[in-house]
Amino acid sequence: MREKLQEVFARHHGSRDALIPVLQEIQGVFGYLPPEAMDAAARFCRISPVEVYGVATFYAQFKFDPVGRNTIMVCQGTACHVMGGARILEEVMNQLKVQPSQTTEDGRFTLETVACIGACALAPAMFVNKDTHGRMKPEKIAEILNGAGN
C-alpha cells in the first residue's frame, strides 16, 4: 500500500488544496479510502487526520468500505423520477437485497444512486459499471444484472 500511496503523492504538492484530488486518486487505486491511506494523506497534506475525515465524509463520492466487483448506479434525477426511476431503484433493491450504497454479500454488486448523470433523454436510466441502460423497465433488470461480470 505504501508504494501505491507514494505514487499518488508524487503527482501532487503536499498542501491542503491537494487533499481532495489526492483522496480521489487514492479511491481510484483502492476503490475506497482505507483508514491508513487517509492517515497518510493527512501527513502528506500537513493537516490533522480529523480534518481529512471531515472532508472525506462531507463528499458523497468517497467510500469507506471496499466496493463490489460491479457497481450498479440508478439515476434518481428529476427526469428519471418523472419517468419512473423510483420503481427501477425499488426493483434493483429487491433483486439484489441491498439498500443504496451497500454491497451484496457475495461482493458481486454495489448499489449506488446518483442525483443525475445527464442522460435525461434516456430516462429512466441505470448504469452497470460504465455501461448505460436507458429507457429502463423493471422487467429488464434481471437480465441486465445477470449479464454483469461475476
Partner 1 sequence: MEPAIRLQPGKGRQVLICRGTGCESQKANLIFASLEKEMDKAGLNGSVELKFTGCHGLCQMGPTIMVMPAGTFYCNVTPDDVSEIVEMDLVKGERVERLLFLDPKTKDRVLDYRDMNFFKPQRRIVLRNCGFINPEAIDDYLAAGGYEGIKKALKMTQQEVIDEMKRSGLRGRGGGGFPTGMKWEFANRSVADQKYIICNADEGDPGAFMDRAVLEGDPHSVLEGMMIGGYTIGATKAYVYVRAEYPMAYERTVLAIDQARERGFLGKNIFGSNFDFDIKVKLGAGAFVCGEETALMGSIEGKRGMPMPRPPFPAVKGLFGKPTNINNVETFANIPVILTRGGDWFAEVGTEKSKGTKVFALAGKITNSGLVEIPMGTPLRTIVEDIGGGIPNKRKFKAAQTGGPSGGCLPFNHYDVPMDYENLTALGAIMGSGRLIITDENTCMVDMAKFFLTFTQKESCGKCVPCRLGTKNMLEILTDIANGKGTMAQLAQLTELAEDVKAGSLCGLGQTAPNPALSTVRHFREEYEAHILRHECPARVCVRLLKFEVNADKCTKCGTCYKACPAEAITWRKKEVATIDKEKCIACRSCILACRFHAID
Residues lying near partner 1 in the complex (CB under 8 A) are found at 15-21, 23-24, 45, 54-55, 58-62, 76-84, 87, 90, 114-123, 131-132, 134, 138-139
> Whole-angstrom distance between the N-terminal and C-terminal Cα of the chain?
25
CB-CB contact of 123 with 45 (8 Å): no
Supply the minimum distance, in Å, between the C-beta of residue 98 and partner 1: 19
**Whole-angstrom Cα distance, residue 114 to residue 60?**
10
Supply the minimum distance, in Å, between the C-beta of residue 106 and partner 1: 25
Closer residue to partner 1 in complex, CB, 80/92: 80
Closer residue to partner 1 in complex, CB, 69/114: 114
Closer residue to partner 1 in complex, CB, 105/115: 115
Closer residue to partner 1 in complex, CB, 86/105: 86
Helix (H, G, I), strand (E, B) or coil at 73: strand
List, in sequence order, the alpha helices (H) in 68-150.
Answer: 78-82, 85-96, 141-147
**Whole-angstrom Cα distance, residue 27 to residue 33?**
5
Supply the minimum distance, in Å, between the C-beta of residue 103 and partner 1: 18
